[in-house]
């Protein structure tokens, strides 16, 4: 994992730890109540507010209990952190109405995270969602 050097990067490291562990009780410490998370894997591609994000993360971790993000690199300036990451997971449970396929996935992506007043106010996640579906065997390819 890349070493966090700035306060913003430390927040990003904690954010990833919450994704990896499902430590929902820590969301209030780091995610603004009205934060917006843009993620191609989310319903309609956007999650509005902490509660909606928590519901999405719970759904994700139900479908992929071993979901793990590994930070490859981080770069920050002021309140913005750019993070390159890699996700590995096994689809062992239902996710977004899709029954378990028991397939392993590996995705690479990036995030642009904005931290203001010691809370994440925006997270923009970029990854190839088609590749995700393809690895689950859901594209017919």
Gyration radius (Cα) of the chain, Å: 15
Give whole-number Cα distances, 113 to 54, 73, 137, in Å: 17, 14, 30
Provide the pLDDT for residue 1.
54
- The full set of domains in the chain, from first to last, is 7-135 (3.10.450.50)
Backbone angle region of 138, left / alpha / beta, with phi > 0 → left and psi within -120 to 50 → alpha: alpha
Average pLDDT value for residue range 103-110: 98
Tokens of 29: 């410490």
| pLDDT surpassing 80 at residue 94 | yes
* Helix (H) or strand (E) segment spanning residue 121: strand 119-127
Q: What is the pLDDT of residues 38-63, one digit of tens each?
A: 999 898 999 999 999 999 999 999 99
Tokens of 47: 């999650």
| pLDDT surpassing 60 at residue 125 | yes
> Model pTM?
0.89
């Amino acid at each position: 994992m890349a070493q966090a050097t700035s306060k913003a990067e430390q927040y990003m490291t904690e954010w990833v730890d919450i994704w990896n562990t499902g430590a929902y009780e820590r969301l209030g410490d780091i995610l603004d109540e009205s934060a917006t998370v843009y993620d191609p894997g989310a319903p309609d591609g956007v999650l509005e507010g902490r509660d909606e994000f928590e519901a999405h993360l719970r759904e994700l971790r139900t479908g992929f209990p071993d979901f793990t993000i590994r930070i490859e690199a981080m770069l920050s300036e002021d309140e913005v952190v750019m993070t390159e990451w890699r996700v590995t997971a096994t689809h062992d449970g239902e996710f977004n109405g899709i029954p378990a396929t028991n397939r392993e996935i590996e995705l690479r992506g990036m995030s642009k995270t904005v931290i203001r007043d010691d809370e994440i106010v925006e997270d923009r996640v970029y990854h190839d969602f088609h590749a995700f579906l393809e690895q689950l065997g859901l594209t017919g390819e």
